[in-house]
Chains A and B, each alone.
Chain A
Amino acid sequence: MITYNAGNYDVVVIGGGHAGCEAALASARMGCKTLLVTLSMENIALMPCNPSIGGPAKSQLVREIDALGGEMAKNIDKSHIQMRMINTGKGPAVQALRAQADKYEYYREMLKTLLSQENLDVKMAEVERIETVNKRVTGIVTRTGAKFGCKAIVITSGTYLKGRIIIGDLAFDGGPNGQFPAVKLSDSLRDLGLALGRFKTGTPPRIDRKSVDFSKMIEQPGDERPLRFSYISPRVKRPQLSCWLTHSNKRTHQIVMDNLDRSPLFTGLIKGRGPRYCPSFEDKVVRFSDKKSHQIFIEPEGRSTDEMYVQGMNTSLPEDVQLKVLRSIPGLENVRMIRTGYAIEYDYVIPSQLKPTLETKEIENLFTAGQINGTSGYEEAAGQGLIAGINAALKVKEKEPLILKRSEAYIGVMIDDLVTGDIDEPYRLLTSRAEYRLILRQDNADLRLTEIGRKIGLVNDYRWRIFCEKKEILEKEIERLKETTFTPADEEMAEFLTGKDTAPLRDRVSLWEILKRPEIKIKDLVEEGLVDDNDLDILEQLEIQSKYEGYIKKQEEQIKKFEKMENRAIPEDIDYSEVFGLSNEAVQKLNEIRPVSIGQASRISGVNPADINVLLIFLEKKRRK
């Protein structure tokens, strides 16, 4: 293939999925001349699986992306067909927003944003090779011979690398959703010295709305109140479309059992490791054989289509079995299948090869983000894409990188898990992975991260103004609530408290303390005229910060201790085999992971407290030299 020089960029982003879009937008918005290359213009921000964004841990993540100036939150606000707040009874830290997306609208809105972004060019092509000089990237080459020079690259190739589709005993090379796979890029990465692994995931069949009998299902409407992911989206309620709940039954399970010998999971055709949190339906039937039925949700894929997603029915059984299984379910007796469910295997980059900036340790200025790093999920991909895009741009501008701590953001938890741990299944963020869950809430992501976003240059003046106003009012209100006090002699207050079925005051007590009582809600105080009728977000903050102050303070104490370890930096150039006193296992692990801080080092499995002591002493020795 004869190549030609097609131009130069600061940053090239390979891939237009959720990671790629965030990376490209961040880089361009930070002033870097950016190129986004994608296999197809039709798969921009595509949701190849569940048409849904948010949920526990993920909703926190989306809000963090928003606070840092990313796009995902705004895009889903523009394109959802239903939004619900879930986990509402379980506390503010785990309460989560979840949206059903109009998959096509989501795509169109993102495409529009990309194409209208200054500094950003979009190109459809298959990248075949990464070019480097002295272990530093210099450019990319596409299948059609275009050579683009660049200073930094972010690869966000998702499930496309050597993608292989498996349905029953049928297997062929392919990307998700009928797309082409990327066949050559894996080899280029291997040539650069990166180790790749192979994972698997799967998706359920899609069915025709017109063939579903909804009268046999339970309706799942969206919330009545207007909800939004982005702190700056307008508060408007879009027309909501319902989802529907039905259940599998004994007969369904019997059909699965009768056809197990045709399932690639059990015949051994599928070799890649799949996620435990997203098992195939056949897996569920086999592993939980005592369960008489499983939930099946029927979800619209958009307003302009009759295709519906069958959540819970992720499968790689042969097509004829899929149809039989579906038709055994109430409401789906006469169902027509539009797309067949399938499993897909793909190459990923073993993420312990990355720095916490998402730059590869092997090749300078080469970043990877999203499913290529062994994760799964749109939000996980977007979060990484944003950070990789930011760090690529910062690197090009020769500025300090952005690394979020586990105590600052779910994004920090995720990236630290990826680069520090041994990932042996597709990684998904869970709230239980976060140590400081009560601090990393979805309601305060803006308070946690907007300032960081501003410093980087991704928070525009509009967002900044909204944030500053909110913060100022909030601080004033908190102070006022703490200073406004009442005594047992205040009759109005006494009456109010009795009305709320809560004990009368015994001493002088502040409004802040009164708000802590479980019986008192912030809206009661607003109704009483004790608190100004501020923006909902501010009222929510007041309520949460007062009610959970005790727990929050405890976690803040823990964070202080935690950060002491995180702030002890470890220089990059240590050869651990020369550190006297480390165990062999520690030497091997430390040389592989190359932690940036004592804190990170202490989380590596195989590195024990004695090794950490030895390291501390070694660092001190080095310092004194």
Chain B
Amino acid sequence: MLFNDDIAAIATPPGEGGIAIIRLSGSSVIEKVSRIFKPYNPEVDIKNKPGYTMTLGWILDDKGEYIDEVLVSIMRAPKSYTGEDVVEINCHGGILPARKCLEEVLNHGIRLAEPGEFTRRAFLNGRMDMSQVEAVIEIIRAKSEKSMKLALKQLKGEKKEDFNRLEDILTSINAAIEASIDFPDEVDEPDYAGLEENIKIVLDEVNKFIEAARRGEVYREGIKIVISGKPNVGKSSLLNLLLRKDKAIVTDIPGTTRDIVEDYLNINGIPVKIMDTAGIRETDDIVERIGVEKSGQAIKEADLVIFLLDVASGITEEDIRIYQGLNKEKVIVLVNKEDLAEKNISEEEIKKLFGGVRVIRGSVKEKTGLDELISAITEMVLEGKTDYDGEELIFNLRQQKALEKAREHLISVLDSLGQVPLDCTAVDVRGALEALGEITGKNIKEEIINRIFQDFCIGK
């Protein structure tokens, strides 16, 4: 945490029209952005532009290829939000290109802002008055809590195990080096061949993580929406409608979908992974039963569930059982097949059963209620009812940056091994572990010391 170096972050959650803003602040951000920005008008150089001006152009990557068409606004210190030089890059392509632009910016000596850092700077630089202090603090707290929650959420399951193993090996390497330095009578110098081998293993793993982050496995998913309901209510039909293609098989036989069908789409600039599930019912069919279990799992992990009812069949016990298993904060109820004449779901019933929950009536067949559904999804995302917003993208990027830093250190270890003494090697080995520590928030120093005493018999 520094006081006036250059920082950047995605400033807006994705909203209407899919515009995302990258905000930068610090003494040399204008110059740094000018290196990757190509204005439409080749005569223009943003370095020479006065404050409160906008310039249209493209952000380029290091190979000179266009990442996105953007509008760059410049505000000069002290007349800016933070009181420092500020650049805002309006990315037209939505959140994904915005993320790429941000990455590009970060390759030019600008670091990711900490949660709430812009606001803090604004306050510390006298751009906000005293009456706003409490609001400022609320913002900072909320943002940090969110990013802490994300950290926990991101590191779970298999990925977490892999990550822990990686950290564990690196801690051992560190401990072996440190033990031999601090306790030379008891611990021999590490075996350099073994050290090199282990560093290579760690480097491979780190590379895999970086690749995964690059491919965007994590962030491209954006929010997860699961379509749920009893068999034959029209789940697969809804999926196909939203995707505008025949992805899932639709029949009038209940129990058609047996496994999860998923795909990606973009709702108002928000990347969405949408999943159609097997209709939930008691069944003896093994294949279907596994499908039903998987549905349950998908629902648990979902950011949002669209729960379908069939207006003709009425609300059955099955429906109620499924609904009770859902998190009411994250549900949109869609009463489907309103085109049919037979209507067995009344307003009173809905009020009684789904009080406080968003209910939409419509027909997938006739595409009615679709607009309402889309805007309900968007609202819920933006109101923060789901766990998704720009923070998450940034969070992933933060992890990626930390991993890249770890990689740099590991490469430096391999490059210098045997050429420099152990105390220098130790700097990079420690650096790599500290970089990983930025992701897990662990106290590296204590971990290493504990490991020394655990692994080595030390003591006079």
Contact = CB atoms under 8 A, between A and B. Distances in A.
Interface of A: 50, 56-57, 86-87, 89-94, 276-279, 283-284, 287-288, 291, 294-295, 297, 311-312, 314, 430-433, 437-438, 518, 548, 551, 554-555, 561, 564-565, 580-581, 602, 605, 608-610, 612-614, 616-617, 620-621, 624
Nearest to A617: B123
B185 A610 contact: no
Contacts of B181: 56, 87, 90, 94, 431-432
A90 B186 CA distance: 15
Contacts of B458: 276-277, 279
Contacts of A608: 144
B443 A605 contact: yes
B174 to A, nearest CB: 8
19 contacts: A56-B181, A91-B423, A276-B458, A279-B459, A287-B457, A297-B460, A431-B178, A518-B419, A551-B424, A565-B1, A580-B133, A602-B1, A608-B144, A609-B144, A610-B115, A610-B145, A614-B141, A616-B120, A617-B133
B457 A90 contact: no
Contacts of A581: 134, 137-138, 140-141
Interface of B: 1-3, 114-117, 120, 123-124, 126, 130, 133-134, 136-138, 140-141, 144-145, 178, 180-186, 189, 419-424, 426-427, 443, 445, 448-449, 452-453, 457-460
Which 9 A-B pairs rank lowest in CB-CB distance, beginning with the nearest? A91-B421, A91-B423, A581-B137, A610-B144, A93-B423, A90-B422, A432-B178, A288-B457, A279-B459
B459 A438 contact: no
Given A92-B423, A432-B178, A551-B424, 14 more contacts: A56-B183, A86-B184, A89-B422, A90-B423, A91-B423, A284-B457, A284-B459, A314-B460, A432-B452, A551-B427, A561-B2, A609-B115, A610-B115, A613-B116
B457 A291 contact: yes
A534 B182 CA distance: 31
B448 to A, nearest CB: 6
A287 B458 CA distance: 11
A312 B2 CA distance: 46
Nearest to B422: A90
A245 B136 CA distance: 64
Contacts, number: 138
Contacts of A616: 120, 124
Contact of A613 (B120, B178, B185): B120
A430 B145 contact: no
B182 A432 contact: yes
Contacts of A314: 459-460
Contact of B459 (A277, A432, A621): A277
Contact of B423 (A57, A94, A287, A580): A94
A236 B130 CA distance: 67
Given A90-B180, A564-B2, A580 B134 contact: yes
Question: Which of B189, B423, B448, B449 has most A Cβ within 10 Å?
Answer: B423
B445 A621 contact: no
A438 B445 contact: no
A527 B379 CA distance: 79
B130 A621 contact: yes
B1 A609 contact: yes
A247 to B, nearest CB: 12
B132 to A, nearest CB: 10
Contacts of B184: 56, 86-87, 90
A437 B144 contact: no
A399 B134 CA distance: 39
B166 to A, nearest CB: 21
Contacts of B140: 581, 610, 613-614, 617
Nearest to B186: A295
B176 to A, nearest CB: 12
A91 B420 contact: yes
Contacts of B421: 89-92
A240 B182 CA distance: 24
B423 A438 contact: yes
Given A438-B424, A551-B424, A610 B180 contact: no
A583 to B, nearest CB: 8
Contacts of B141: 581, 610, 614
Nearest to B457: A288
B155 to A, nearest CB: 17
Contacts of B114: 609, 613
Nearest to A435: B445
A430 B182 contact: yes
A375 to B, nearest CB: 15
Given A90-B189, A90-B423, A564-B2, A311 B445 contact: no
A548 B423 CA distance: 10
Query: Which interface residue of A92, A610, A614, A624 has the most chain B CB atoms within 10 A?
Result: A610
A430 B186 contact: no
A57 B184 CA distance: 12
Contact of B137 (A91, A288, A617): A617
Given A294-B457, A432-B448, A433-B445, A438 B427 contact: yes
A93 B136 CA distance: 44
Contacts of A609: 1, 114-115, 144
A81 to B, nearest CB: 18
B1 A94 contact: no
A287 B124 CA distance: 53
Contacts of A94: 181, 422-423
A561 B134 CA distance: 28
Contacts of A518: 419
A620 B3 CA distance: 13
Contacts of A551: 420, 424, 427
A602 B459 CA distance: 32
B145 to A, nearest CB: 7
Contacts of B420: 91, 548, 551
Contacts of A297: 185, 460
A92 B424 CA distance: 9
Contact of B182 (A56, A92, A278, A580): A56
